[in-house]
Structure 1
Amino acid sequence: MRIATINRSTAETRIDVTVNLDGTGVYSIKTGIGFLDHMVEQLSRHGLIDIDLKVDGDLHIDGHHTVEDSALALGQAVAQALGDKRGIRRYGDALSPMDETLTRVALDISGRPWLVWKTAFTVSRLGELDTELIEHWFHSFAQTAGITLHVETLYGSNNHHIVEAAYKGLARALRTAVEIDPRKSDAIPSTKGVL
């Protein structure tokens, strides 16, 4: 089983996260930020990745550390669960529609972290989540997961839909990329022989 647990403790946050890449989309998410919980639930459900995430953060200051550190820990857990990445499909992409919004997500589990973010918001907050932190969550996740990640909202007007389409697109692209390819389940998907 491709399962990993990360415990991250700093002066700003305490995080416990477990992921199962071969799960069914079962989740328990408690970050203290309701909208962030809802988005990570989308990642789990549509990515078929079981996620158990508990965060105790310094929300009396603001949401920055909770958002950043939860993404760092979750990305680290995904990377650890992937191991040497033997047999994975490596690449994934998704067009993610949500009502009036259409978002494109493409990723490569390359070991070379990068984020291209072409998404903007017209409000400063969604629930208790500052919208400027959403890009930061994707950046932090890509860094520790070791993925090249492109997120582009092709069109859309409802900010909730724009964010949710991005998370659902990430979920579906990641689901494809982490799957074991039955045609090459014994090989590292790189001409270098390592990822």
Structure 2
Amino acid sequence: MLATKNQKTLSLEQQEELLHTLKTRFEKNMDRHLGFHWAVVQAKLEASPEKLWSLYEMERTGGEPDVVGFDDTAGHYLFFDCAAESPKGRRSICYDREGLESRKEHAPENNALDMAAAMGIDLLTEQQYRQLQQLGNFDLKTSSWVQTPHGIRKLGGALFCDRRYDHVFTYHNGAQSYYAARAFRGLLKV
């Protein structure tokens, strides 16, 4: 049985498979979460079936989510998409619904903000994107939409980031634009 958009729970088999995948990734990339223990993370995940569903969606769309931090104030583990390149299952999308609806021809199938909301996650901010880049080299061939400040969006623009020439760059485009190599990276708090 597959999880559907309306069903935000996973079968026992899906949960076990996802937890195995996440544990394997966690143990393989300990430098992303020094001092954290998988058993504690897993207990938080098992207590939050809807968060497991969101992680499943992140995984299903190619995000390869992993623990990258802990919010001491809120008591949440932070999961970011850690795929080397922008998630394949989220590419060729514009920034938001308004951008999508403004296209007269050749509209993409979806947009980053609606997809993230449907998955129960948030787009990374520019600051979070830069934090991710401290953990490795991401988006060397692709780019990722990031949360755009209201003032920029109000004027029709949207921000995206990538890594080139061993530097992280932030750029702008019209929110209606989309490219085969651009997706978005998400954040989930558990």
TM-score greater than 0.5 by the shorter chain: no
After TM superposition, the score normalised by the length of structure 2 is 0.26
After TM superposition, the score normalised by the length of structure 1 is 0.26
Higher relative contact order, chain-length normalized (CA < 8 Å, sep 6+) = 1
Larger strand percent: 1
